[in-house]
Chain A
Amino acid sequence: MPEFIVEWLNQNDIFTAGTLLHYWDGLVTTVQLTFLSLLIGLVCAVPLAVLRTSRNPLVSGPIWMYTYLFRGTPLLIQLYVIYYGVAQIEGIQDTFWWEIFREPFYPALLAFTLNTAAYTTEIIRGAIMATPAGEIEAAKAYGMSWFLRIRRIILPSTARRAVQAYSNEVIFMLHSSAIASVVTIIDLTGAARNIYSRYYAPFEAFIAVALIYMVLTFTVVYGFRKLEQHLLKHLKPANG
């Protein structure tokens, strides 16, 4: 470590090496929790969104119900229900499920995944609905099967339309993950709360954590800008 950082750390009561390590552990947990739930959520959301556009109400109805439920209730409540609710099920402590749900990480991951999958399903569904009818007709005229149409025509153009709205969902999810600290997970916010209650220094503890969240957010924004430039290359002016 450079000399001046070491010196600064030595004359600082709050941001000692131990505190910085605590923030680091929190950062790792936040990143794991957020990006795992986003990844699993996205993988679930793509087929759900395709089925959600089905004309058969027996297929699209349950998915509509699911997105309606999870978009209609606060994430904090969903987390409480899953975390505390599961522990109240009679006899669950004796099953192998308890190995998973005993730790707060997995109930939180489940709640976050279900929540983000619901939002992402609706984002992708909107983009699918906006596919120009001519493209689909042309694909049919070529004799493409339903699956081939989805794979070659609908999903690629959907991805281009959905990417901007989805980048918002990623940022919201990163910020929502702060509530994981209420179920004893030491994520970034949990670390800040521990440091605050140890030193009674709310400004220092929370401003430091806000800066870390900002750096994370800007990294996400930068990544999505690169992705958009790649996906939407064809929309650029010819000489631009």
Chain B
Amino acid sequence: MKNLLIAAGCALALVAGTVQAKDWEEIRIAFDVPYEPFEYKTADGELTGFEVDLARAMCDELKADCTFVIQDWDGMIPGLLARKFDAIMSSMSITEERAERVLFSEPYYNTPGAWFARESVDVDVTDKSALEGMSIGVQRGTTMDNYVTENFSDVASVKRYTTADDMVLDLEGQRLDLVFVDFPVGEQTILSRDGYHQVGEPVKLGQGVGVAMRKRDKDLAAMVNKALATLKEDGTYDTIMEKYFAYDIKM
């Protein structure tokens, strides 16, 4: 009898546990702003951008009540693991190192990295020796950072920035000769000014961008994957993409 009671108690605890874990009526999603045009604030302070709109559509699809959290890039993964939020939709590229810490959904977009410089600077970025002695700006910890570090850090000096704003400021102040940044970000923040141009061809990097979640939340990942697949099928994804981009980033 006693054993039965314990068994029943365990079963109950197990059921209660699973019920609680599967309950994804509320999802907290983190963004690092500004990262135009993926996530940024409009002049009146409203959060908007490609990923924000996509997150909204995804939440509608999941019938979930979503809260959007602003989080600095440096604290993204620790914040997720500390349960400050449940998912990251902030242009986080899928890499092996990150996949050891978090669970990625299927990729939902991929953009190339591209080189930008002042108009007076023009080099052949495929020729490593041409970059000798130059200073190259990247955002710390991005796939662009890894690419530049692996390929050019022995000839050029690589400077790492926390935000794209600081990096553009140093490009403007001529402390940097080149920056290597996500193409859409460069297009918005650098090409929109006078006197800057894109150098060379964009470089395809990595396995695309996915929603990052905690490793244990496999049920959430399954839901997110299903919702993203539906959005890609039914045209919602394309509508959102066309609102922000003149080219295809779908994946």
Residues of A within 8 A of B (CB): 84, 87-88, 93, 98, 102, 104, 182, 184, 190, 193-194, 196-200, 202
Contact = CB atoms under 8 A, between A and B. Distances in A.
A98 B175 CA distance: 9
Contacts of B141: 197-198
B169 A202 contact: no
A84 B100 contact: no
Interface of B: 74, 77-78, 97-98, 100-101, 140-141, 145-146, 159-162, 166, 169-170, 172-175
Nearest to B139: A197
Contacts of A194: 140, 160
Nearest to A186: B160
A196 B141 CA distance: 8
A199 B160 CA distance: 15
A182 B175 contact: no
A98 B140 CA distance: 25
Contacts of A197: 74, 140-141, 145
A93 B173 CA distance: 8
Nearest to A184: B159
B206 to A, nearest CB: 15
Contacts of B166: 182
A190, A193, A197 pick with most chain B CB within 10 angstroms: A197
B120 to A, nearest CB: 11
A87 B173 CA distance: 5
Given A193-B74, A194-B140, A200 B173 contact: no
B169 A84 contact: yes
Given A194-B160, A197-B74, A198-B141, A184 B170 contact: yes
